[in-house]
Structure 1
Amino acid sequence: MTARGGLHPSLVHHIVNSLGWSELRPSQSAAMEPLLQGSDALLLAPTAGGKTEAAVFPLLSRMTAEGWTAPSVIYVAPLKALLNNLLPRLETYTGWLGRRAGLWHGDITSRRRARLLHEPPDLLLTTPESLESMLVSTKVDHVRWFGGLHAVVVDEVHAFAGDDRGWHLLAVLERLARIAGRPVQRVGLSATVGNPDELLRWLQGTGRRPGRVVAPDTGSGRQEAQVGLDHVGSVANAAKVIAALHQGEKRLVFCDSRRLVEELGAALRARGVTTFLSHASLSADERRRAEQAFAETRDCVIVSTSTLELGIDVGDLDRVIQINAPSSVAAFLQRLGRTGRRPGGTRNCLFLGLNEAGTLAATGLALLWSRGWVEPVQPPPDPRHIVAQQILALCLQEHQVGARLWAEWWRGLGPFGTSAESIVRHLVEQGYLDSDGGMLFIGPEAERRYGHRHFMELTTSFTAMPEFTVLCGREEIGRTDPALLSERVDGPRLLLLAGRSWRVTWTDWKRRRCHVEPADGGGKARWTSPVTGGASFTLAQAVRSVLLGEDPPVRLTQRAEALLTTLREQAVDIVHPGGSVITRVGNDVRWWTWAGHRANATLAATLDDVADAGQRVEDFSIRLRSDLTPRMWKAALTSALERLRLPAPSEEALRGLKYSDALPRHLAEATLSARLADLPGATRILKNPTHISPAL
């Protein structure tokens, strides 16, 4: 390896002699030229594909060659655990050039933060929420800290772009660029996505810099994957299968709820399996201990939510097991990519279906994966609530902002254009902002709603569900849903947390703490989660294809094959190769759309004259009026093709939209309605033939 590609000679020396690399990987080499030239970029590579080095090596070389002052590079990631995991590597790389890396997030002590404020690092690892807290803090000199900013690396950028954290991040980056007084180079790191060019344009925000998508070499070095599917029917049976299979190997099991992680973890331990757990409601120390122990042990299992999906190093894995199905093909690819890293290894995943729905979803997802399809990353539309949050945060940051100058901070970014003026007026009218002499500043209503703990509530774009801290002595175990502490029980109140049962000895309602002691068993786990949509249009259509006879090219066990045969026989009347189906069973009339949650919500709202009022939206069907006739259906269909209606949000959904109270109600409802809808999917179903049961 030589320095002719533009990397600093000292960096090249250490890459060769300290890392032992004779060459960079193809994707790393491809990233050198655009990043050294200052272009924005989206670097795509599988998990453990060297994306961090591909981004950091050229930026460190520029930092040294051009004499950037600290901090000049910010490295943003969606998880604190991922940042913790990256810090030692980045400290090593910066140290080779006489530079420093530092970490700032919610778990960093005030003493360590004070040290960073006194001596800023050259490369700062942080989260969008921590960046926001620094911007609104009176302790941080914004110009000193961000005046030397030249580049931002956004790790797992797809995880941001798919929800409101992405809009929050983009808005914060625009504010940082204005403080720096220069365009800031933006580098996104991601696994495979379905629309990389669109994702790069989104990441660039209002920037007009050159941009390039750097994709991995997909030639002969591509690894095949061994994917299997079994229907086990229950958590107890899943534990039995996992305990019996692959003994002596290191297994990572993904579940898509914290409750399921706890139940499966407890069931595995009851079978004598060395088991560790990881999810967001465990304490940071508990998660770190589990992840470290797992990394150092061979014959063991770690059960996790998506917290271990995003590249956190837990050592070489032998197996990945997925309970039911993840929410997307992209998530499956991330999880699959945790295996097969050793020379000669093969990527693998075993799906274990706990019920018919879970097994069917897994077959549909496996079918999409086999087709090479990956979801496009779509930022949620109309983030008006983020506009309200950002305007309030800017007033905290600057203390006062010109009533006609606030928009200059975002330079017309997406929702921050002229349409945001009505939001500013509402904030002033409702007392969130005060206005005096053409200036805006924080008002009494914002103080009342968000002023607790120095406006910490204004630093995040998502609503955190209320939880109680669980303590055994002085040791924090994690957090639990308060409903478990208030519901009526006979006998002792038992919790399940960290895979162990605990007896509640005392609950401190004022301080939101509960004290526990170990129990022999019988603990219960539960958390309240925000309302989310179900299956996508594409996944629902894939499930339909499976029921029509298309097999995913994965290894099915006899149990899975038997269930699939039964489900196909049962679905004869509800799936049709030529379109959708309307059936009647007694008074139950259903339109089997196979359109997914959001398209069905759109169709139910549009067909309100013939849809059963008050029904809960489902993924595969819509319940229609019991007195429906073919003539009524034809008239309703003709009307629906002329205009589609957006679904009306529930009060629960409005409460779950953070900062919705800072918006006029009609704008909050419009924001949620746009997010609940799938207009293209609904249109496709309406235009396809509908086959009506003779019983109608």
Structure 2
Amino acid sequence: MGTELDPVLIHHIVNTLGWPDLRPLQRAAVAPLVAGDDALLLAPTAGGKTEAASFPILTRMAAEHWTGTSVLYLCPLKALLNNLEPRLERYAGWIGRRVGLWHGDVKMGGRRNILAERPDILLTTPESLESMLVSTKVDHRAFFAGLRTVIVDEVHAFAGDDRGWHLLAVLERLTHLVGRPLQRVGLSATVGNPRQLLEWLQGASAGTRPCEVVAPDLPVSVSGTVPPGDIELDYVGSLDNAAKVIAALHAGQKRLVFCEARQTVEELGEMLRGHGITTFLSHASLSTDERRRSEQAFAEARDCVIVSTSTLELGIDVGDLDRVIQIDAPSTVASFLQRLGRTGRRADAVRNCLFLTLKGETLVEAAALLKLWGSGWVEPVTPTPEPRHIVAQQMMALCLQEHQVGDQTWRQWWNGLPPFDDSAEPIVRHLAREGYLDSDAGMHFIGSEAEKRFGRRHFMGMTAVFLGAPEFTVLVGRSELGKIDPYLLVEEVKGPRRLLLSGRSWQVTYIDWKRRRCFVEPVDSGGRARWTSRGLAGAGYELARAMRDVLLGADPPVQLTRRAVDRLADEREQSASLVHPGGNVILRDKSGDLKWWTWAGFRANATLTATLSEVTDPGQQFNDQYIRLREDLTSAAWRELTADANSRLCLPEVNKRALNGLKFSEALPERLAVATLAARLADLRGAERVLEEPTRFVTIA
């Protein structure tokens, strides 16, 4: 037991929780966190990270007599906050402290209670935190005056996209507001670059404050060893067959099935219910109440299945699971590790996952991902490059927070953190020139254009850095069921219009186009599901290369069913001319099409297509595996035109219509908005590695 912990906490850990000792991570975290150091705590799912962070911080709180709201506990998901609240309330209560919850689903009465009697620990999201900073109803200087520590749960889920930049920027503004450094503690599952992730979390204070990566629970990677886990890879050929397999296996057990799309969740859920399986669903387009009911019912049941997108990948408690089943493959090894970590929590259980792949292509992708996992490789978490649109958002949010900001002093609010430093000056000038900011007597304040574009509902749209797809709310009577893609309401149909939502079919009875609402009633069958994806598709370099290795004969270190072995053999035979162990292939097929099979991933191929415009097809056609080349290209012309390519790599071209998916892009000069998207579409290192390899021309007679 950590002797530096508060004696009252130790008493309750032993007598109330019944723990004879702390876990290795929890023991190792005590000293640095009690000392006030920044830290990144790494452990698999259910590794005790919440206690590893909260027990030492509660010890500091008691020993140093912190008052007011002194700890922020930030999560990426409201559901995760709801799940953590009773546990943290219990721990804080042992030393006479209180926990409060503040996010978009918390009613006004609950918020008023928090403002009237500030809790010692506030659970919230970065978006809700910024809402507090810009709200006229919150005296943010008084409320955050006692702030000492920020705990960021699932920090890897922030760091890889724009929510990470938003999080860092808000933390720097808080640091400037309270006038003291804030201890920053990140909790994360396995990542490939933990030291860099911790330095990222430290923000402007990186290199000036003591910090430590705490990860004693993670196994030391030994060359040639395979991580523990009972993993099986199967090929079933269709979602209907997957439903039959799930229905036939593991009777009496609790199974969590992950799918990569909401539509797949809905369709599989309906199929499983058709097989008589007690089935629950969870995805982002179901209403909060619907998801909560589903997750609670699953947690309390035994012989059942819950089908989910990545919403249940993070640490939301759904009870003691027996099995995880994966339809096709997740997009990253890190995601697979999160899902695998859902199982094996009992002393007599092992972590397990059954992959059910629906197509030959996804079988190869799953095998590639498992090959990377078997080698101990995990993706590094890297911040998105050049977040200029977040700079624009933050400058407007700061003006809302402070009402007016000095035109020479605004940089101080981010304490020198790039890109919120001098490099932001062109963006600030553009905001003032276009009316997003007004200026007078050396001060900036919010302008009429910002009010016009973002001012609805007290600037609520200012705090979210992603654009949500336009969706219609589906209601059964007065109860919200979830949201759907509007395409389902405008496509031509014969007969009644029917939807599939929450794994059940519904008939549309009335559409309120103005308020974007759709009223339904239950029917037996015939519903359809659909949602539009807005993300950038495509595999990364390592996964694409692992797919090539699989096609060249490499097997993942897991159990393969006979169906998987046979289908992999077919895929290898069909792709024999597209892969070569000595480099990449340019193949001319029987129709005359010329394709460069790089197996480099979407972003590397986008970079190569832009750089080698003199040899690529004018239609700019490429995907994860290949780039289409000019049909008249010869091997001699190829060598001549690509000889210096590595010295002139350039960013991919961006269609200006794509700017519609980058929130706040309209608050940037168009050239900077385009440059931001281009930087995010590029993989310069992957492109370099392809160009360093030998290339062979092959013609199919």
Shorter-chain-normalised TM-score: which range? over 0.9
SS in 1 for 2:509: strand
1:223 positional shift: 7.8
Match of 1:212?
Answer: 212
Question: 2:274 matched to 1:276?
Answer: no
C-alpha contact (below 8 Å) 1:606/1:640 kept by paired residues = yes
1: CA distance, partners of 2:621 / 2:415: 41
1:303 positional shift: 0.3
2: CA distance, partners of 1:223 / 1:658: 40
1:489 positional shift: 1.2
C-alpha contact (below 8 Å) 2:616/2:630 kept by paired residues = yes
2: CA distance, partners of 1:191 / 1:623: 39
SS in 1 for 2:638: helix
Which residue, 531, 538, 546 being the options, matches 1:527?
A: 531
SS in 1 for 2:651: coil
1:617 positional shift: 3.0
Listed as ranges, the gaps of 5+ residues in structure 1 are none
C-alpha contact (below 8 Å) 2:256/2:307 kept by paired residues = yes
After superposition, the Cα gap between the structure-2 partners of 1:694 and 1:235, relative to the gap in structure 1 and judged at 3 Å, is: closer
2: CA distance, partners of 1:398 / 1:341: 48
Matched residue type, 2:509: T
Which residue, 322, 340, 347 being the options, matches 1:336?
A: 340
Match of 2:559?
Answer: 555
SS in 2 for 1:644: coil
1: CA distance, partners of 2:220 / 2:575: 41
2: CA distance, partners of 1:193 / 1:69: 35
RMSD after superposition: 1.3
Deviates more, 1:229-238 or 1:393-402: 229-238
Matched residue type, 1:112: G
Question: 2:184 matched to 1:186?
Answer: yes
Which residue, 145, 162, 165 being the options, matches 1:164?
A: 162
2: CA distance, partners of 1:617 / 1:140: 51
Match of 2:571?
Answer: 567
1: CA distance, partners of 2:640 / 2:442: 55
Matched residue type, 2:412: E
Matched residue type, 2:201: L
1:414 positional shift: 1.8
SS in 1 for 2:577: coil
Match of 1:678?
Answer: 683
1:330 positional shift: 0.3
Match of 2:431?
Answer: 427
SS in 2 for 1:393: helix
C-alpha contact (below 8 Å) 1:533/1:598 kept by paired residues = no
| 1:613-668 alpha-carbon deviations (Å, 9 max, x no partner) | 22443000001111111122112211422201110122342110111000001101
Match of 1:38?
Answer: 36
| 1:422-464 alpha-carbon deviations (Å, 9 max, x no partner) | 0000000000000111000011100110000110110011111
Match of 1:309?
Answer: 313
1:219 positional shift: 5.8
2: CA distance, partners of 1:62 / 1:530: 44
Match of 2:143?
Answer: 145
1: CA distance, partners of 2:250 / 2:19: 33
Which residue, 665, 673, 689 being the options, matches 1:668?
A: 673
| 1:382-414 alpha-carbon deviations (Å, 9 max, x no partner) | 000000000000000000000011100001212
C-alpha contact (below 8 Å) 2:44/2:218 kept by paired residues = no
1:115 positional shift: 1.1
1: CA distance, partners of 2:485 / 2:648: 43
2: CA distance, partners of 1:341 / 1:53: 16
1:493 positional shift: 0.7
Match of 1:81?
Answer: 79
Trace 1:359-438 onto structure 2 (pairs within 5 A). 359-438=363-442
Trace 1:281-680 onto structure 2 (pairs within 5 A). 281-585=285-589, 586-680=591-685
1: CA distance, partners of 2:567 / 2:104: 47
Matched residue type, 1:602: T
SS in 2 for 1:388: helix
SS in 1 for 2:578: coil
2: CA distance, partners of 1:215 / 1:251: 29
2: CA distance, partners of 1:398 / 1:617: 47
Which residue, 13, 18, 22 being the options, matches 1:24?
A: 22
Matched residue type, 2:649: L
Runs of 4+ in 1 over 6 A off after TM superposition: 220-223
C-alpha contact (below 8 Å) 1:531/1:653 kept by paired residues = no
For normalisation by structure 1, the TM-score amounts to: 0.98
After superposition, the Cα gap between the structure-2 partners of 1:170 and 1:47, relative to the gap in structure 1 and judged at 3 Å, is: same
1:210 positional shift: 0.4
| 1:263-297 alpha-carbon deviations (Å, 9 max, x no partner) | 11111111111000000110111001110110111
1: CA distance, partners of 2:379 / 2:11: 40
1:218 positional shift: 4.3
2: CA distance, partners of 1:494 / 1:695: 48
SS in 2 for 1:206: helix
After superposition, the Cα gap between the structure-2 partners of 1:248 and 1:223, relative to the gap in structure 1 and judged at 3 Å, is: farther
2: CA distance, partners of 1:396 / 1:668: 23
| 1:486-518 alpha-carbon deviations (Å, 9 max, x no partner) | 112111110110000100000111111110000
C-alpha contact (below 8 Å) 2:176/2:415 kept by paired residues = no
C-alpha contact (below 8 Å) 2:74/2:150 kept by paired residues = yes
Listed as ranges, the gaps of 5+ residues in structure 2 are none
Matched residue type, 1:495: L
Deviates more, 1:411-420 or 1:278-287: 411-420
C-alpha contact (below 8 Å) 2:43/2:218 kept by paired residues = no
SS in 2 for 1:416: coil
Matched residue type, 1:141: D
1: CA distance, partners of 2:66 / 2:533: 44
1: CA distance, partners of 2:196 / 2:472: 41
2: CA distance, partners of 1:83 / 1:219: 29
After superposition, the Cα gap between the structure-2 partners of 1:491 and 1:694, relative to the gap in structure 1 and judged at 3 Å, is: closer
Aligned residues: 694
